[in-house]
Amino acid sequence: MSSVKIESVVLDSTRCGESPVWEEKSNSLLYVDIPSKKIFRWNSLTKQVQDFTVDSTVSSVAIRQSGGYVATVGTRFCALNWEDRSSSDLCSVDKDKKNNRFNDGKIDPAGRYFAGTMAEEIAPAVLERHQGALYVLFPSGNVEKYVDHVDISNGLDWSMDHKIFYYIDSLSYSVDAFDYDLHTGKIANRRSVYKMEKEEHIPDGMCIDTEGKLWVACYNGGRVIRLDPETGTRLQTVKLPTEKTTSCCFGGKDYSELYVTSARDGLDPDKLSRQPEAGRIFKITGLGVKGVAPHAFAG
Ligand code: BGC
Ligand code: BGC
Ligand code: CA
């Protein structure tokens, strides 16, 4: 048995780190800091961090097949050119909801961009309810609303056989599943596969491993949990040294390292002094499981 090890890989902390994505070709981890309007790229070989500032909150980032990246900025889907730090809008959503912003997003196995919105918060997880929605940006440029009346659209991933879409609306305290049609991208038949326990707090970002188990970052819970969506049970808990753990993805050589983002916003000065690593990016090794490569936007 290997032993689980946790280290922070970037010393600069984020206010609300999110959307970790492993980019194999640059041996790098991409992630965002939502309120700072920044996207980061940490090179695991040189340990250098590059950044890209956009004009609004940036809540998710993804690799684009044709080069560069795509991201959700404010209520827009954008294309990014990292070389000259330029961005262009692909389309926008929630035009009737001035107080909304995008939150988590990820590319599906066919290259579509799934991303959801939420109302702006008064304090972490305190907001006007049911204002968000889950959208899908197709490679053609069309955008469709898939789920309406969402509180905080969050973690998402797809089963290994591409037949199930897993989704988290944080304030439901549940991890849900939908039937998923790879060919059309349609989802149907929503059900809960896991109900959060009290000490796990709020379900946030999520990723799947090659055994089909889900890793969920627990906001306020200071942990990632590994769930079996078939039995609705928790298989493992890995505690982190700070409570606002926000999202996770597998990366590194063979996708055997789990990267976890975290936040420092929302911690009072007392908690901050007791959690000096709040807002950092963590790498967990020795888990004995692997993840899958991220998909790339096909548009
Ligand atoms: C959001 C935060 C929110 C947290 C907990 C994150 O994905 O970006 O604003 O406080 O989830 O629900
Ligand atoms: C792309 C593939 C790529 C895969 C990585 C897909 O979205 O179409 O080219 O190999 O993502 O998992
Ligand atoms: Ca999130």
* CATH number of the domain that residue 178 is part of: 2.120.10.30
Q: Model pTM?
A: 0.95
Atom in ligand 1 nearest the alpha carbon of residue 266: 10
Domain count of the fold of the chain = 1
Q: Give the distance (Å) from ligand 3 centre to CA of residue 103.
A: 6
| Strand ranges, E, within 100-186 | 100-107, 113-119, 132-137, 143-150, 153-158, 164-169, 174-180
- Cβ–Cβ under 8 Å, residues 204 and 152: no
pLDDT given at position 104? 98
Provide the 8-state DSSP code for 272: H
Give me 31's structure tokens: 């992630």
Atom in ligand 1 nearest the alpha carbon of residue 205: 7
Is residue 290 one of the residues assigned to a domain? no
Please determine, for residue 1, whether its predicted confidence score (pLDDT) is greater than 70: no
Is residue 296 one of the residues assigned to a domain? no
Q: What is the mean pLDDT of residues 89-105?
A: 97
Nearest protein Cα to ligand 2, atom 5: 295
pLDDT given at position 27? 98
In which domain, by residue range, is 156 found? 5-285
Q: Give the distance (Å) from ligand 2 centre to CA of residue 167.
A: 20
pLDDT tens digit sequence for 229-271: 999 999 999 999 999 999 999 999 899 999 999 999 999 999 9
Nearest protein Cα to ligand 1, atom 9: 124
Is residue 44 one of the residues assigned to a domain? yes
pLDDT tens digit sequence for 166-217: 999 999 999 999 999 999 999 999 999 999 999 999 999 999 999 999 999 9
Q: What is the mean pLDDT of residues 26-49?
A: 98
pLDDT given at position 155? 98
State if residue 204 touches ligand 1 by the CB under 6 angstroms criterion: yes
Q: What is the mean pLDDT of residues 9-37?
A: 97
Whole-angstrom CA distances from 282 to 145, 200, 222, 258 are 33, 19, 12, 8
Is residue 212 one of the residues assigned to a domain? yes
Is residue 294 one of the residues assigned to a domain? no
Is residue 29 one of the residues assigned to a domain? yes
Is residue 146 one of the residues assigned to a domain? yes
